[in-house]
Structure 1
């Protein structure tokens, strides 16, 4: 166990590698109740959120979700979030925001004045609801054993309400592992019942350690390491979230337009080490004998069995195939830039 953002969190249950491989090959279960959970209710909530994110939420249909980022005036990333649209009449739309645990209070304080100005109510459900993630190739069949509905046609980034244990619970086909999977939000009582049922069936419980190695193999950034308020989505490899067809202005837009025109000072890249030395966060990236960047995330990939990392470097050294060095305890070890993700599910 470890302290994380005010919660006691499991780093591992049976072991990081065993949990990691269970998710890649069968199915694993994560308790991610530490994530922030906001419900926004009011008039034209999606239109209100349009000014706070670079993504075009007019595209977001009812019962669908959008991964995006909250931006500050410098286009720095306040947090990366998922917006779930529940729909409703124009005068009382409803959305759920899932935010990072470490930034829950910061996000809340950022959103509140904007909500108040727009007449939108923000309900903080972070302490009330359990959030579970069932992830892996067998996630669908495991879910189907418990519910009569057919979830095979539920698209990725779609969600719905289903009945279980006498209550309506939230089910979304989303996750942070690179595998197919589902995230379920429910009361504490129902969440515990689901958790115990799946453990009784032999589903592998997974901790923070496997969650981190899985997301890194999938090339997914971690807030606070691979992105922060000094990093823009264009620099963090999230340019696909900045929709050029968006009709409404948003916070940070001018900075992003300037970066598109003038170029970036840094860019997040994926690295594979040429040997098994692990590039840890903070290690220097070296090119032609000079430090040019830093590692933000790194591990020995349990599934690929090679050392992988994410790092910021100048765009000139960001093309796949580029040779770089990583300084580890005073020595330089060879690495090369590759395309993200490191792992893509079959």
Structure 2
């Protein structure tokens, strides 16, 4: 599948990769240059492979409270919340951002590989509520501007004062005549904005942002640097740190589960899985050899976990990784090792995020 911006990426000589069935730009120039642009200036991302599901009606909030682990009915219009949708056994089906656009209108943003599943689950779980569930993914493009210069760039082409937009908040805006939902959200650890745009207008909006960003050092950025950016920020990736076999508690995200609300899908199972035998931790390595997805984590000769994501951090200059390890060995400062292609390399358990902007 191709996003509405595929032709733009081709014109920029992007290198493509398959991601959840979408042909997406993995890099344009070099992932290191794109990574550094986001940390130091700004990057422009096409995220149109993500899914957008709209819920409208007097019981939209109640339907989401039943379907998800968080209390979405408590979110105020104009704000957003990170949450998860779980199976009956407590396994994570997807992690999501939910925007409340009005009293009776919500937008659920799902990961690309799970968008169809989330839409189907929401429709099924909302059947007993007075709400309409519509999958808007095919009609919606998503463009992100991320980095310390993002506010200057987006502010220069929109009709709103972006300085007043709080983190995890959204508003309707015009970008050079185009209606967009403008959100101060992101997946890079930097300040940034995500623009939800009608798919047919995505090319124009992309070019407007690219031109506005040129004097601010903005570069188009692909999935490769997006992955190292989110890893440095300690943010989970579905399929790596989150799967249907794992609960929010194992991922260290139990705070998103709100047991105080009435019955919701997966509540009973999650009650019994609050104290997992393995948890997600950060690992810091030495030298230049980075742990990668699937590598085994060792305590001496004993295998006690597995790396879910890893890279040589472009910002920090040393190897970093996220890994599931036995709970009793999860304290920061614990010395472990990783089998990197037959070579045992020392690592230390550290707190995440690895990188936090000042």
Q: TM-score range by the shorter chain?
A: over 0.9
2 CA distance for matches of 1:300 and 1:256?
A: 35
2:111 maps to which residue? Answer: 100
Count of residue pairs the alignment pairs up: 339
Asked if the contact 2:67–2:126 (Cα under 8 Å) also holds between the matched residues in 1, the reply is: no
1 CA distance for matches of 2:141 and 2:176?
A: 14
Corresponding residue to 1:254 among 255, 268, 278:
268
In the alignment, structure 2 segments of 5+ residues that lack a partner are 1-15
Corresponding residue to 1:205 among 193, 215, 220:
220
Asked if the contact 2:154–2:209 (Cα under 8 Å) also holds between the matched residues in 1, the reply is: no
1:191 maps to which residue? Answer: 202
Structure 1 residue 146 and structure 2 residue 157: aligned? yes
Determine helix, strand or coil for the equivalent of 2:182.
strand
The normalised TM-score by structure 1 is 0.95
Asked if the contact 2:159–2:175 (Cα under 8 Å) also holds between the matched residues in 1, the reply is: no
Residues 165/148 of structure 1: CA separation in 2 closer, same or farther (3 Å cut): closer
Structure 1 residue 241 and structure 2 residue 241: aligned? no
1:75 maps to which residue? Answer: 90
CA displacement at 1:141 relative to structure 2: 0.6
The normalised TM-score by structure 2 is 0.92
CA displacement at 1:167 relative to structure 2: 4.4
Structure 1 runs of 4+ off > 4 angstroms?
Answer: none
2 CA distance for matches of 1:36 and 1:184?
A: 14
Determine helix, strand or coil for the equivalent of 2:339.
strand
2 CA distance for matches of 1:337 and 1:213?
A: 19
In the alignment, structure 1 segments of 5+ residues that lack a partner are none
1:60 maps to which residue? Answer: 75
Determine helix, strand or coil for the equivalent of 1:225.
coil
**Aligned-residue CA RMSD (Å):** 1.3
Asked if the contact 1:165–1:190 (Cα under 8 Å) also holds between the matched residues in 2, the reply is: no
1:34 maps to which residue? Answer: 49
2:240 maps to which residue? Answer: 225
Post-superposition Cα deviations, 1:104-139, rounded to whole Å, max 9, x if no partner, equal 111122222122332422211111111001100000
CA displacement at 1:269 relative to structure 2: 0.5
Corresponding residue to 2:283 among 257, 271, 283:
271
CA displacement at 1:166 relative to structure 2: 4.1
Post-superposition Cα deviations, 1:1-55, rounded to whole Å, max 9, x if no partner, equal 0122221100001110000010000011100000001111122211111112222
1:284 maps to which residue? Answer: 296
2:343 maps to which residue? Answer: 331
Determine helix, strand or coil for the equivalent of 1:199.
helix
| Residue range with higher mean Cα deviation, 194-203 or 288-297 | 194-203
Residues 332/281 of structure 1: CA separation in 2 closer, same or farther (3 Å cut): same
2 CA distance for matches of 1:256 and 1:113?
A: 21
| Residue range with higher mean Cα deviation, 146-155 or 202-211 | 146-155
